[in-house]
Chain A
Amino acid sequence: MNVLPWLIITPLFGAFSMPVISLLGGKFREYWAVIVSGLTLGIAAKVFYTVWKSNEILVYTLGDTNPIGNGVKFPIRIIWEVDLFGALLALTVTFVSFLAILYSLEYMKHDTGLDKYYTLTLVLELGMIGVVITGDIFNFYVFLEIMSIASYALVAFRNDTWEGIEAGVKYMFVGSLASSFILLGIALLYGQYGTLTMAYLAMKIAENPTLISKVALAFLIGGLLFKSGAVPVHMWLSDAHPAAPSSISAMLSGLVIKAGGVYAIARIIFGIFNPGLHGYLKTFGMPAFNLNTLGWIIIFFACLTLVIGNAMAVVQNDMKRLFAFSSVGQIGYILLGFGIGIVAYGDKIGEIALTGAVYHIVNHAVIKGLLFFIAGAVIHQVGTKNLNELSGLARRMPFTTISFIIGATAIIGLPPLNGFASKWLIYESSAMYNPILAVVAVIGTVFSLIAYTRVLFTFLGVESEKVKMVKEPGTAMIVPMLVLVIIILVMGIFSWQISDKIMLPTAKMLEQLNGEYIMALLKFIGGG
């Protein structure tokens, strides 16, 4: 039995049955949400293991065994195409979502309308899974919208606070604009080539690279940079993340900007506009795109993002805002890795950069999940997120402080923890490609070091009045944090093994030196 469809069916069923289940009472809907997201995690782990073990791209057609229509020679049905990158992202998404739902059990206890909350959270998870497994570009748009709309609603979930509504409205306007860019790009591609299957589209574009497809690419990348929170279009992010409930911030920062942002950028560039394919065409003197320009554009925005994001984190007084800006900064590293992966395509350097970028996506999801959980614990227990009022938490909340120290050192990228390996790969590749980029990357890290050291000192300093009576949060909030801490430590110890065994094959499969993404579709059609 193919498990792939269950990856969508489970959260979809969970979300749609939630209103019914919640008629049974409060406890049931919470257990239901935990069970559903736990099952989804199990399925994602199975899918990941299958893809990793066989090292082949999994293809699945909706509605039939073969995407080829009657009487036509090209795929007309929606296909899902899961390579290692997609499977890895699906695993990360389901893992952090599961922990976020577990965390919500206690964290969201005091809020009302929780059946809607759990429904939306499962829908958000569903949207992200859909984005990372789909092989059809319109299907991708639909899932992107599911994800985006769920996240607009979740950002504004606490609609009795002004900041929730303000951030939600801002996020919605900006996000809708970005989505319309993406839709426009897809429409242009469809008008030009008459197909929506990504792999088939890649072949058609290679046959006939036109100006229209270039314009479409610009629209797609522009819209997706919005969604990933790259500077200069990061302003929604720094409002949305602080305003959302912390369990949602963890998902927004750890997952949404990855799945709907950098993952999609990488997929569109390497899947549809494959630099390798076009380089191959060029050697035969055929018309082809030169994707180096695009690579440099991405590198430019990446450098801007990682310097400005991290620098803005230094001056924040609001803990969650600081983490949100730090997320912007870390997106810069991921984009830098992808950018170098494009300009140094087919090179050892490009491969290292892509490995680093993929690795950093996973690491950042885990670390930022932890940091937002910590921020949530602090807000939940103390009632403020202003760093100036939070001095001296360490005495009353030792576990939270230790977790914060681990999370902060991991995100700065200090050696015994997991952030080091991924950042190192990005530094190394940028230093080998162009030392100026490495200098920029190190400047970003210095800023992030300063930002987190400041938070650390507020945690450790002299106790303020506000924190005199606080205590640690309950088990349901401690356990997700503990799990993430353990994951960070274990990934830190085995960082190079993970890099070699998982991240490098992932990067290779994403890079598609032999057009694996297209070949998988052709093989699937031929075999079916």
Chain B
Amino acid sequence: MSVLYTTVGLIAVYIYVSFVSLVWDGLDRKLVARMQRRVGPPLLQPFYDFLKLVGKESIIPRDSNKMFEASPILALAASITLLAYTPIGFGPILATKGDVLVFIYLLALIAFIRVIGAVSSGSPYAQIGAQREVIMLASREAPMMLGLFAILWRLAKLDVEKPFSLETLYQHNIWEIGTPLTIVGSLVLLIVFIFWLASEIEVGYFNIPEAETEVAEGPMAEYSGRDLALFKLSNSLKEYASASLVVAVFFPWGLSQYLGISGIEAMLVDLVFHTIKVFVILFVSMSLFRAITGRLRVTQAVNLFWSRILPASMIGAILLAIDILGVIG
């Protein structure tokens, strides 16, 4: 029976998140338009885009191979799987100890499938985009992993049943430890995560692989019709999942315990509240960032990650470590 419940839960989450993440995309476009004194598209524009793309003919380049057609489906499949491991106001559907590794792996896998699709298209633009994507992937994951593992390691010290599971984020959070070192360390890591999120969803500084004006949409250059629609959807899901991680790590508080409700209503309330927090995080990391910054060159972005953000992540991790090892006071 639990398998059945899990499946139903996953499908429900998938439908909900698809809807919400597309709504957010519309909201984002509207907000950015307002920041630039435009009217902008209607809120439901991404839905129209999606439906239109699904209805259009998919053009398969002559030089492409089977992976070109397979990778949109694989990317969407990986995104849906990712949702089963994403904390969404309550613990992930398939929470086990160590599931954080699966989360990181799936997140990287989605990017990697995009790369495979791009390389398989046989287009030089797509290949350049793919190379950039791989470079960015290699640069951005290290600081995030360091920060995430440091936080989960710190939380694992506080008597949790499933260490290194994203579920522990709802049992304890990093602020409740309350010592000055953890607070400073967590704030540093928050900045790291905001930058990581921006590069994960490729906006602002980090809109490098897709760079419309330089390499004509990069990895997506040859995709059209239904394949492109699937990729857009999987990107939106990934966006939501990545932002959910940041929310769960730093702002895991739910409303239900304050309202004194439990059971299925509590889950729904937490889910909605979580979505609002995700929107806020995405507003900072995506809309604002997109509106006020331009694109970096790929070398500059790599440099930024290895010489600014990775050290920041190290500092954050070391502060957390110093706190628990009790070197000071």
Chain A neighbourhood of B124, CB < 8 A: 462
B122 adjacent to A463 (CB under 8 Å): yes
Interface size on B, residues (CB 8 A): 14
Indicate whether B234 reaches chain A with its CB closer than 8 angstroms: no
Cβ of A26: which chain B residues have Cβ within 8 Å of it?
Answer: none
Partner of B122, one of A392, A398, A401: A392
Segment with Cβ contacts to A, from B51-59, B61-69, B258-266, B308-316: B61-69
In the complex, how many angstroms separate the beta carbon of A254 from the nearest chain B beta carbon?
27
The chain B residue sitting closest to A457, CB to CB, is B119
> Is A149 interfacial (CB 8 A cutoff)?
no
Among B102, B122, B127, B134, find the residue whose CB has the most chain A CB atoms closer than 10 A.
B122
B183 interface hit (Cβ, 8 Å): no
Given known contacts A394-B120, A415-B102, A415-B105, A460 and B63 CB-to-CB distance under 8 angstroms: no
Contact of A456 among B65, B102, B116 (CB under 8 A): B116
Please determine whether A394 and B105 come into contact, CB atoms closer than 8 angstroms.
Answer: no
Query: Which listed residue, A392, A414, A415, touches B65 by the CB 8 Å rule?
Result: A392
Quick one: which of A398, A402, A415, A461 contacts B119, CB cutoff 8 A? A461
Please state if A462 and B63 are interface contacts (CB–CB under 8 Å). Answer: yes
Please name all residues of chain A whose beta carbon is closer than 8 Å to the beta carbon of B63 when the two chains form the complex.
Answer: 392, 395, 462-463
Contact partners of A414 in chain B: CB under 8 A? 105
CB <8 Å contact, A460 and B102: no
CB distance from B289 to the nearest CB of A (A): 30
On whether the beta carbons of B66 and A394 are closer than 8 Å, the reply is yes
Contact A398-B105, Cβ < 8 Å, known A460-B120, A462-B122: no
By DSSP majority rule, is chain B's interface helix, strand, loop, or mixed? Answer: helix
Select B67's contact among A394, A453, A462, A463, beta carbons within 8 Å.
A394
Interface pair B119/A460, CB less than 8 Å apart: yes
| Chain A positions 461-495 with a Cβ under 8 Å from a chain B Cβ | 461-463
* Chain B residue at smallest Cβ distance from A397: B65
List, in ascending order, chain A residues with CB within 8 A of B65's CB: 392, 394-395, 398, 401, 460
Contact residues, B118-138 vs A (CB, 8 A): 119-120, 122, 124, 127, 134
Whole-angstrom CA separation of A463 from B116 in the bound complex: 15
CA distance A453 to B111 in the complex (A): 14
Q: How far is the CA of A414 from the CA of B109 in the complex (A)?
A: 10
- Min CB gap B79→A, angstroms: 16
Q: Once bound together, how far apart are the Cα atoms of A463 and B68, in whole Å?
A: 14
B66 CB contacts on chain A under 8 angstroms: 394-395, 398, 401-402
| Max chain B Cβ within 10 angstroms of own Cβ: one of A398, A402, A460, A462 | A460
A460:B105 contact, CB within 8 angstroms: no
Q: How far is the CA of A463 from the CA of B64 in the complex (A)?
A: 9
Q: B62-105 CB contact bits vs A (8 Å, 1 = yes)?
A: 01111100000000000000000000000000000000001001
A292 to chain B, nearest CB (A): 29
B67 near A461 with CB under 8 A, answer no
- B10 CB, nearest partner CB in chain A, Å: 17
B105: A residues at CB distance < 8 A: 414-415
Bound complex: CA of A453 vs CA of B108, how far in Å?
14
Residues of B within 8 A of A398 (CB): 65-66
Report B329 CB to chain A, min CB distance, Å.
26
Interface residues of A in 143-190 (CB under 8 A from B): none
Cα distance A462–B134 in the bound complex, in angstroms: 18
Min distance, Cβ B100 to any Cβ of chain A, angstroms: 13
Cα distance A395–B116 in the bound complex, in angstroms: 14
Q: How far is the CA of A295 from the CA of B49 in the complex (A)?
A: 62
Q: Using Cβ atoms and an 8 Å threshold, which residues of chain B touch A460? A: 65, 67, 116, 119-120
Chain B residue at smallest Cβ distance from A414 = B105
Q: How far is the CB of B322 from chain A (nearest CB, A)?
A: 18
- Docked-complex contact A461 and B102, CB < 8 angstroms: no
- Residues of chain B within 8 A (CB-CB) of A402 are 66
Q: How far is the CB of B133 from chain A (nearest CB, A)?
A: 12
Cα distance A398–B120 in the bound complex, in angstroms: 12
CB distance from A240 to the nearest CB of B (A): 32
How far, in whole Å, are A513 and B6 apart by their CA atoms in the complex? 43
The interface residues of chain B lying within 8 Å CB-to-CB of A394 are 65-67, 120
Report the minimum CB–CB distance from B65 to chain A (whole Å). Answer: 4
Q: Which residue of B lies closest to A402 (CB)?
A: B66
Q: For the complex, give the distance between the alpha carbons of A66 and B66 in Å.
A: 62
B85 to chain A, nearest CB (A): 12
Residues of B within 8 A of A462 (CB): 63, 122, 124, 127
- Most A Cβ at <10 Å: residue of B66, B124, B127: B66
Alpha-carbon gap, A462 to B119, bound state (A): 8
Complex contacts, A461 vs chain B, CB 8 Å: 119, 122, 127
A461 to B65, CA, bound (A): 9
Residue interface bits B9-37, CB-to-A below 8 A is 1, else 0: 00000000000000000000000000000
Per the bound structure, the CA–CA distance linking A461 and B127 in Å amounts to 8
A434-472 interface (Cβ within 8 A of B): 453, 456-457, 460-463
In the bound assembly, the distance between CA atoms of A354 and B150 in angstroms comes to 29
What chain A residues lie within 8 Å of B122 (beta carbons)?
A: 392, 461-463
Name the distance in Å between B240's Cβ and chain A's nearest Cβ: 22
| Binary contact track A253-292/B, C-beta < 8 Å → 1, others 0 | 0000000000000000000000000000000000000000
The smallest beta-carbon distance between A48 and chain B, in angstroms, is 32
B209 to chain A minimum Cβ distance, whole angstroms, is: 15
Q: How far is the CA of A209 from the CA of B64 in the complex (A)?
A: 67
Q: Which residue of A lies closest to B66 (CB)?
A: A398
Chain A residues with CB under 8 A of B64: 395
Q: Which residues in B have their C-beta under 8 angstroms from that of A401?
A: 65-67
Interface string of A378-399 (1 = CB under 8 A from B): 0000000000000010110010
What are 9 sample pairs from A and B whose C-beta atoms fall under 8 A apart? A394-B65, A394-B66, A395-B64, A395-B66, A415-B102, A457-B119, A461-B122, A461-B127, A462-B63
New contact pairs (9) apart from A395-B65, A460-B119, CB-CB < 8 Å:
A392-B63, A394-B65, A401-B65, A401-B66, A415-B105, A456-B116, A460-B116, A462-B122, A463-B122
Interface residues in chain A, defined as those with a beta carbon under 8 Å from any beta carbon in chain B: 392, 394-395, 398, 401-402, 414-415, 453, 456-457, 460-463
Lowest 7 A-B CB distances belong to which pairs?
A394-B65, A395-B65, A460-B119, A460-B120, A462-B122, A398-B66, A457-B119
